């Protein structure tokens, strides 16, 4: 991760600043505020602000004016009920704002989650830094023969070295040309909004990303999943750690019902019932397509 001395000074100042408030705060979440958690080679995740806690979720569900007489285990039970039955609006009472530095190709995948507020570093206004994501060798893999969106076997030896050489040389050459176009001799140089178009997808950008807990859980369910692309999954993994300290009861319910849980189709449930009744169920009598049956077997094996 690359932080300038000025950025480090600002972060330290933010961490050391305190203010009185009447709003709900979470001590373990307060410890996360402003800290930069390293991701990939130059990226990071920082929690900048948050609103609400586990109590805000149950308060919204009960529409009460305070914590009431319910015990913490009752609150946890209610949160599990809300999660189990897909009641989303109580979770929308909590919000978080993150500062994220990430490669452009990851950002373009991330932005598919549209239910958030985003403000990105402007390459029309400012000049991008010479920072590129270069994968480690253990992430260089061939195209999967079975999954059009996935990776296959790792590249090894000279083949891996050649890929890294190409990535590094192409990135540097593109940035050299970017700088050259911005500052041509005896001219004002090309406009920044045009010069940026020659930069590769592995250059780093930054943004502030604010979302509510319901939409954040949806993001994490997809991006922290084992089959998600590695480069976005590592960001999701860091955010998971922050959320676990922010709303522990909601996080536990989310982990149980979403991350570690599975969803069955009507046909899948019928097959489970038939199997429990002692019936021999196979691909032919399951009434599923070949793909569905394969996925079903992976779930129950």
Q: What are the catalytic residues?
A: 223
Tell me which DSSP letter residue 130 carries: S
Q: Which residues pair with 255 in a beta bridge?
A: none
Contacts of 6 (CB under 8 A, 6+ apart): none
Q: Which residues pair with 95 in a beta bridge?
A: 51, 212
Six-digit token pair at 272?
Answer: 């489970």
Dihedral of the alpha carbons of 24, 27, 29, 34, in degrees to the nearest 10:
100
| Nearest alpha-carbon partner for 82 in 214, 211, 221, 219 | 214
How far apart CA 55 and CA 247 sit, in angstroms, is 9
Tell me the chain's radius of gyration from C-alpha atoms.
24
For 73, 133, 143, 246, the CA distances from 44, given in Å and listed in that order, are 35, 12, 27, 19
| Nearest alpha-carbon partner for 123 in 33, 41, 205 | 205
What is the pairing mode between strands 37-39 and 141-143? unpaired
For 37, 84, 207, the CA distances from 121, given in Å and listed in that order, are 19, 38, 6
How far apart CA 271 and CA 135 sit, in angstroms, is 43
| Nearest alpha-carbon partner for 174 in 199, 194, 205 | 199
DSSP E strands: which ranges in 78-150? 95-103, 117-120, 141-143
């Amino acid at each position: 991760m690359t932080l300038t001395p000025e950025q480090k000074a600002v972060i330290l100042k933010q961490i050391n600043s305190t203010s009185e408030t009447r709003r709900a705060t979470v001590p373990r979440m307060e410890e996360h505020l402003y800290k930069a958690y390293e991701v990939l080679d130059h990226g990071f995740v920082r929690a900048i602000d948050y609103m609400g806690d586990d109590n805000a979720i149950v308060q919204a569900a009960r529409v009460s004016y305070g914590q009431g007489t319910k015990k913490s285990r009752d609150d946890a039970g209610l949160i599990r009920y809300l999660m189990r039955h897909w009641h989303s609006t109580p979770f929308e009472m909590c919000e978080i704002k993150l500062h994220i530095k990430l490669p452009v190709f990851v950002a373009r995948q991330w932005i598919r989650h549209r239910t958030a507020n985003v403000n990105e570093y402007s390459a029309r206004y400012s000049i991008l830094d010479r920072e590129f994501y270069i994968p480690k060798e253990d992430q260089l893999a061939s195209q999967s023969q079975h999954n059009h969106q996935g990776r296959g076997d790792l590249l090894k030896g000279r083949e891996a070295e050649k890929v890294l050489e190409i990535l590094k040389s192409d990135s540097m050459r593109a940035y050299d040309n970017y700088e050259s176009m911005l500052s041509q001799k005896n001219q004002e140089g090309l406009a920044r909004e045009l010069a940026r178009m020659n930069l590769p997808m592995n250059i780093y950008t930054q943004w502030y990303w604010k979302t509510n807990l319901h939409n954040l859980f949806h993001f994490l369910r997809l991006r922290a999943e084992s089959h998600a692309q590695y480069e976005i999954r590592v960001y999701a993994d860091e955010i998971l750690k922050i959320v676990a300290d922010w709303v522990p009861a909601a996080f536990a319910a989310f982990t149980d019902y979403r991350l570690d849980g599975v969803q069955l189709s009507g046909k899948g449930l019928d097959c489970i019932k038939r199997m429990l009744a002692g019936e021999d169920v196979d691909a032919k009598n399951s009434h599923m397509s070949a793909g569905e049956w394969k996925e079903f077997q992976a779930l129950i094996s």
